[in-house]
Amino acid sequence: MKHQYLFEIGGENTELGKIEALELLSNENYKPKLILDETSIITIDVSNIIKPKIIRRLGMTKRISKILHQDKDIHLEKVVDKIPILDIGKRTFAIRQIGNKLKSEKKIATLLGEKIPKHNKTHLSNPEVKILYYTGIKTIISIWDSKLETYYKKCLKHHINNRPFFSPISIHPRIARSMINLANCSDGDSIIDPFCGTGGMLIEASDMGINSFGIDIMKKMVDYSIGNLEHFGLQSKVIEGDIVDINNYKFNAIVTDPPYGISTTTLGEGIEKLMTRCLELFAKKLESKQRLVMAVSNPKLIQNNNYTIIHQFEWYIHKSLTRHILVMEKN
């Protein structure tokens, strides 16, 4: 039986958010199929009801709601007439319009409210469910359950402003989370970050139930990573060492944000030489089809015949820095 969901993607990078959702669902065997793509609003068919723990993993999706009805008709009254009474148990509810607000919200609430049993109470500030109304190239009515929250807002508690130890160029937790989801790892799998810095990747991986290992050539960064992990009550193995130390670990993917050679140090090794060395080393360790996900300032440095680039995204930081997120598979 097919199930269809509406995804509200965060505006920072809608393409990254869309691909993160599709890749995660595919890796978790939901057989996703993109049905509607209106940039920040997408709908996806899946083979099974999506488990809360999978929804919780998403970093770039604001909200997921299960589609109850969709219609090519955009006339509110005609659409509402077609839907049955909505059984939401004994839960409180609110009715909201999402996307471009082209209709009267009061009118939507009045008409859709007639489809809710009288014993259900409204709770505008903190409802247990929300009935969502969207009008684009089609009309969609979906239901959001408070138990089905993504980590779009919650992962901000891991922001550098909330860490005891940080670097000003530390990667944003939403990016880190999406990169891990693009690495095709499930519960119990392991990732390694050979340039772990202050532990951003390790924090998100551990929070999602994915085992993680971190390596950094600077002892200070190792101490910072350990301190940040302890601050959030999370665990990861972190060591001081060179990238060659990945040979001492078994893992399913490499997810990393290497130094840019500007405000970070490579201890005398130039950034071009370092990238060449690490790509060769990673290729020897990764198995065919395993993934390397990297955030780099210059994608021209990532040229190696051992990999196929599956996806590439740009994340603008400021006028002198754009991160290029590369998702690569070992050939």
Q: How confident is the model at residue 267 (pLDDT cuts 50, 70, 90)?
A: low
- Over the stretch 154-182, which tens digit does the pLDDT of each residue have? 999 999 999 999 887 788 999 999 999 99
Give me the half-sphere count of Cα atoms (radius 13 Å) on the Cβ side of residue 55. Answer: 22
Q: For the domain covering 3-145, report its CATH number.
A: 3.30.2130.30
pLDDT of residue 323: 85
- Over the stretch 289-321, which tens digit does the pLDDT of each residue have? 999 999 998 888 888 899 999 999 998 777 777
Calculate the average pLDDT of the chain: 92
The stretch 5-15 carries a mean pLDDT of 96
| Residue of higher predicted confidence among 113 and 259 | 113
Residue reference for tokens 């944000």:
257
CATH class of 155-330: alpha beta
Q: Render 128-147 in DSSP notation, one character per residue.
A: SEEEEEEESSSEEEEEEETT
CA angle 44-47-51, nearest 5°?
Answer: 85
Q: Which structure tokens are listed for 93?
A: 């509810």
Residue type, 88: I
Domain with CATH 3.30.2130.30 in the chain: 3-145
Query: Closest by alpha carbon to 174, among 31, 297, 13, 303?
Result: 13
User: Contact, 293 vs 182, CB < 8 A?
Assistant: yes
Domain with CATH 3.40.50.150 in the chain: 155-330
